[in-house]
Amino acid sequence: MQKLNASTLHQLDPVVAVPAYDRSKVGVGIVHFGVGGFHRAHQAMYVDQLMNDGKALDWGICGVGVMPADQRMKTVMDAQNGLYTLVIKHPDGSYKPRVIGSIIEYLYAPDDVKAVLEKMANPEVRIVSLTVTEGGYNFHHVTGAFNFDNPDVKHDLVEGAAPKTSFGLVTEALARRKSRGIAPFTVMSCDNIQGNGDVAKATFTAYARRKNAELGEWIAEHVKFPNSMVDRITPVTTDADRDEVRQRFGIDDAWPVVCEPFTQWVLEDHFNDGRPAFEDVGVQIVDEVMPYELMKLRLLNASHQALTYFGYLAGYRYAHEVCQDPLFVEFLLGYMVEEGSPTLSPLPGVDLDLYRRTLIERFANPQIRDTLARLCAESSDRIPKWLVPVIRHQLEHNGEIKRSAAVVASWARYDEGTDEQGEPIEIVDRLKNQLHAIAQNNRRHPLAFIENRELFGDLVEHPRFVAAYTWALDSLHRIGARATLEALR
């Protein structure tokens, strides 16, 4: 059994691929906020792949944590010299392990704000990237307005305060580069948000303008924020995953990452000062990412929402269980074909039928064991962005909405806090107390949940949506999730 770190790297079982490059010669070109499982299965993997091909050695990654939970990642990254095991799990049960070496440094901002700022102010750093989740952009889900009432944002806006947020840190680093005559870095969002680069630009410039109007205008004019579409199912690492890495590969890795074989990254070619040659490792570099991201958000992400609440209420606990059930597969394909796909822009060269079938196959991969609890989490950040736009489009174009409305009803039923067996549901959401309280009124006041304009805007004023939603909610209460799906056929 080998503890994973730089000194043991070449003592590992030959079945485990390890970095083929000299990590001592890698320089930091990217600072990344939010080093979680997805970043390590996706962006860091692509950079590592380039380095294994003898390229991009000046594009090493320095991870940055700002949240209290990130302190554990700092501890692990330091102990393992930034190394971790990425395990690709194929549906046939075969595993492909690989040690990733592209993260060469990790800084925890609360411990050393100055080090983080000076790292980003270094001219060698040309990209600051982000996977901070939808909630990390701190904007109103209906209006899109930046939330200046956030206590940490208020703290950062005080003159002379040591920044706590990514907004404060990035803005101060750009201010230092501007004052020193250094070209700005590119801010590259890799989060699961429609128009993620546009959202990043709107939120970071809103903060910067409030902090310093002149600086805010400079950032708006000179800093580039490319949009991207990212995709790879990456479940939360469990103790069972750690045990499996030890038993199968003899590696004692405190924080491995498991993922599916499929990976996709579509990236706009809008950068301030260069970028790695991502196209050499399969990244689709495009002028306009919107058609691709709509396909992913409204088919993959919205379909996750379609399967997760119904599946959980019906007694399933893993995504693959749901997607091996023909009734649920029929429902998901019905949503994708009849409701999600009609909202998409033209996609030359994309076989949508193949894409939809591939999604079902990916969801059904039994090796991934993606939990429904994970997919049910933070729904208030997800449903308004992924599913509500589908409903609005379909209402405007007189399209089908019965399945989308049923998904919203299944969320409302889930947030009542007990499943169909009467067992408690642990709701994980930034608005969980508020939503649970509202959902308690579902039976006596069926419109209570969708009257929340913070999440649904004016949907409660659309009779066709209200009728479909109230039918589905009543059906869930009367006959349960499975029978409701049968009635929706």
- Mind listing the pLDDT tens digit for each residue in 125-143? 999 999 998 889 998 866 7
Q: What is the pLDDT of residue 347?
A: 83
Q: What percent of the chain has pLDDT over 70?
A: 100
pTM of the complete model: 0.85
Question: Which residue, among 308, 456, 442, 457, has the nearest Cα to 377 in the 3D structure?
Answer: 308
How far apart, in whole angstroms, are the C-alpha atoms of residue 172 and residue 46? 29
In three-state secondary structure terms, 311 is helix
How far apart, in whole angstroms, are the C-alpha atoms of residue 459 and residue 412? 15
Using alpha carbons, list the distances in angstroms from residue 485 to 31, 387, 407, 447, 472: 46, 18, 10, 21, 9
In three-state secondary structure terms, 229 is strand
Q: pLDDT band at 201, cuts 50/70/90?
A: very high
Per residue in 76-108, is it b (16+ CB within 10 Å) or e — as a string? bbeebbbbbbbbbbeeeeeeebbbbbbbbbbbb
List, in order of start, the domains of the chain with CATH numbers.
Answer: 2-286 (3.40.50.720), 290-487 (1.10.1040.10)
The count of C-alpha atoms lying within 13 angstroms of the C-alpha of 458, restricted to the half-sphere facing its C-beta, is 4
Q: What percent of the chain has pLDDT over 90?
A: 94
Q: What mean pLDDT comes out for the span 268-284?
A: 96
Q: What is the pLDDT of residues 328-353, one digit of tens each?
A: 999 999 999 999 999 998 887 789 99
Q: Which tokens hold the place of 155? A: 């703290």
Number of other residues whose CB lies within 10 A of the CB of residue 291: 16
List Cβ neighbours of 194 (8 Å cut-off, separation of 6 or more): 290, 293, 294, 297, 385, 389
Report CA torsion sign: 23, 24, 26, 28. positive
Q: What is the pLDDT of residues 278-317, one digit of tens each?
A: 999 999 999 999 999 899 999 999 999 999 999 999 999 9
Q: What is the pLDDT of residue 156?
A: 97
Q: What is the pLDDT of residues 423-440, one digit of tens each?
A: 999 999 999 999 999 999
Q: What is the pLDDT of residue 192?
A: 86
Radius of gyration of the chain (CA): 23
How far apart, in whole angstroms, are the C-alpha atoms of residue 160 and residue 319? 48
Place of tokens 């996706």: 42
Report helix angle 213-222 to 196-211, nearest 10. Answer: 150
Q: What mean pLDDT comes out for the span 29-41?
A: 98
Q: What is the pLDDT of residue 12?
A: 96
In three-state secondary structure terms, 222 is helix
Range list of H helices, 187-264:
196-211, 213-222, 239-249
